[in-house]
Amino acid sequence: MRQYILHSIFVFFIGYFVQAQEMLSLEDAVKITFENNYDIKIAKNNLKVGSTNNSYANAGMLPLINANFTNNNSQLNTSQTQADGTVRQLDGAKNMNLNYGVGLDWTIFDGLSMFAKKEQLNVLETQGKAALQLAILTKISDVYATYFDLVQHQHVIASIDTAIAISSQRLSTAQNRFSIGKSSKLEVLNAQVDLNSDLSLFLKQKEQYRISKIRMNELMARDLKIDFKVNDRIELDKSMDLKVLQLAAESQNPTLQFQILSKKLAELNLKQVKGNRYPRVRVTSGYNFTESEASLGFITQSSGKGFVYGINATVPVFNSFLQHKNEKVARFQIENAELALEQQKLNLKTQLSILFESYQTNLKLVEVEEKNVEIAKQNIEITLAKFKIGTITTIEFRTAQQNYVEAIVRYSNAQYLTKLTEINLNELAGTLKLN
């Protein structure tokens, strides 16, 4: 009786603290993770880097404008011999050359490489968006999986708690029967051992429950000590279709989109390499000021200002067959990108097909285990009634009790595994709900 009372008190306090816990909905968990998760934040910043780098200047399409300033001075002891043999000497002769102005340097043609470079920057920015989408999908998928893992833990804990209550009743009944001489001490000891086993299992399950809470808090990037409770229901989507998932994956799977963009980058790289076949034309211009002074010489002082301009063209004639080699390498890179893309498509279809098979099997298992729970529940109710009047053995009672708990656990596991495959399918298809 004492053990039953202690268990009741224990359950009361557990229930009290559960009520005081934060109720964390799946939607809130997703929202918090989306806002706080470090991997998502890093991916967002990487996208900003890609967006910032995507500019006409980075593509080499804009001119370079530089200001320059040069001032050279000297003070020398100088000796000059003139053409008529006259020698001129001056100690501390001062010389000064001053030059300053603004210059422009603009590549106006490079074989259209700059346009390929700009396209490449556009693709890299788009790749950054795909990388961000992948990071979001991965972490939100982890949130879904961890959340329903917590739901499953709560179901198992509740079933074990029920087993503890039944074991406590059994111990109380055994003690009462022993006190009036209708049972042996062995029956009481066996009941006590089974109750302790249930309590031990309860503590281990609670530990796993707390560990999953820590992982969830980590995903949400918040204090790991925050306690919370999750909703108990697992809603299963029984209408998923493989063809629909495959069609969605072709346009929404971030990894596949990333590979498509990688192939595009390889093609643009070949364009850039081909651009080296053609002349490179540069235009230069500027406005300069010059001034000079000399203590000796025919000209002791001069100055000037005005525009300077010019054009420079470089025509490739022969580069030791490097151009041919570089183009050949670029084509091999395109071929590899195409092969990687086809491989990714096949891999994606394979993963979807395998997961869908698991999904269908798990749905059937859920139906089977749900029926088993109902059967086990009826069995434990009948067994408990018979045990109270002493018409069955303790072994039969314990077997019925264990079957009931195991049926609940299997049903909960089947629900969780089905939900997990559902989450993974939506993640691969890019259709996972993110808000």
What is the architecture, at CATH level 2, of domain 2-36+110-278+316-429?
Answer: Up-down Bundle (1.20)
Task: Give the distance from CA 353 to its chain's centroid.
Answer: 24
pTM of the model: 0.82
2-36+110-278+316-429 and 63-109+279-315: same fold?
no
DSSP lists the bridge partners of residue 75 as: 94
User: How does pLDDT run along the chain (435 residues), one tens digit per residue?
Assistant: 444 444 544 454 445 444 457 899 999 999 999 999 999 999 999 999 999 999 999 998 999 999 999 988 887 777 767 777 777 777 777 788 889 999 999 998 888 889 999 999 999 999 999 999 999 999 999 999 999 999 999 999 999 998 999 899 889 988 988 888 887 898 899 999 999 999 999 999 999 999 999 999 999 999 999 999 999 889 999 999 999 999 999 999 999 999 999 999 999 999 999 988 889 999 999 999 998 877 665 666 788 888 988 999 888 888 888 989 999 999 999 999 999 999 999 999 999 999 999 999 999 999 999 999 999 999 989 998 888 787 888 888 889 999 999 999 999 999 999 999 999 999 999 999 887
Alpha helices in 180-321 (DSSP H): 185-219, 242-252, 254-275
Closest C-alpha to 168, from 390, 395, 377, 9: 9
Helix (H) or strand (E) holding 228: strand 228-230
| Domain parsing of the chain, residue ranges | 2-36+110-278+316-429, 63-109+279-315
Q: How many CB atoms lie within 10 A of CB 85?
A: 6
Is residue 187 within 8 Å of residue 218, measured between CB atoms? no
CATH architecture, domain defined by 63-109+279-315? Single Sheet (2.20)
How is residue 86 written in tokens?
């006259």
Our CA dihedral for 17, 21, 23, 26, rounded to 10 degrees, sits at -110
253: buried, middle or exposed (CB in 10 Å: 19+, 13-18, 0-12)?
Answer: buried
Contact 133, 430 (CB under 8 A): yes
Cα dihedral: 369, 370, 375, 381 (round 10): 120
